[in-house]
Amino acid sequence: MFRSRAKTEKAPTDQVPADLSQQPRDPEAPKGRPTPKRSEAQSQRRRAATQPTDRKAAMKRARATRRTELARQREALASGDERYLPARDKGPVRRFARDFVDSRFCIAEFFLPMAVIILILSMVRIGQLQSIALLLWLGVIVMIVVDSIGLGIRLKKQLNERFPDEPKRGAVAYALMRTLQMRRLRLPKPQVKRGERP
């Protein structure tokens, strides 16, 4: 009596998995495979964490992409190609600021050669030469400051006229820093000749 009841109870449960296997699986349903033991799961995690070949390959790829990007930037700095320039040199405002500086003579660009000459004169142990070097030094600094103030005012005015809606923050400082470099050593390379209107 008990046996027959047990058989009748087992019969419906045996049929349920067969019926379920025929239905399409719901994505939120259980995964349908046994959960791995803790030791197996930990060993799999350790294996995934310590795969030096994958990490090395990823680092090599990252290094290679960085190298190609730097090479592109160097070429862009030499040619003036806007697409690959660094972020600080991009945009029409920065381009105009560069052209504005490159189209004129600036006293600040001769600062380094003059500084070397003044340094040599100041090292000579002759009183008159040392006092001349000091006067030259003061004169050069005053001329650079006056020239930079004038250039900054003119550039600001031009930027406000040409680019009223563009953000101009840092453009004047960017141009003044460019005046301190000798024309041949400037990057991006000058795209306009001296005396040419930007």
Percentage of residues in the chain having pLDDT higher than 70: 80
Name the more confident of 120 and 26: 120
Contact partners, residue 171, CB within 8 Å, separation at least 6: 93, 94, 97, 155, 159
pTM: 0.64
Mean pLDDT of 68-72: 86
Tell me what pLDDT residue 13 has.
Answer: 47
Tell me what pLDDT residue 3 has.
Answer: 55
Contact yes or no for 128/140 (Cβ under 8 A): no
Exposure of 33 by Cβ count < 10 A (0-12 exposed, 13-18 middle, 19+ buried)?
exposed
Q: Is 81 helix (H, G, I), strand (E, B) or coil?
A: coil
Tell me what pLDDT residue 23 has.
Answer: 56
- Residues 35-54 have pLDDT tens digits of 778 888 787 777 655 555 57
Tell me what pLDDT residue 14 has.
Answer: 47
Contact yes or no for 175/191 (Cβ under 8 A): no
Q: Residue 83's closest CA among 159, 155, 188?
A: 188
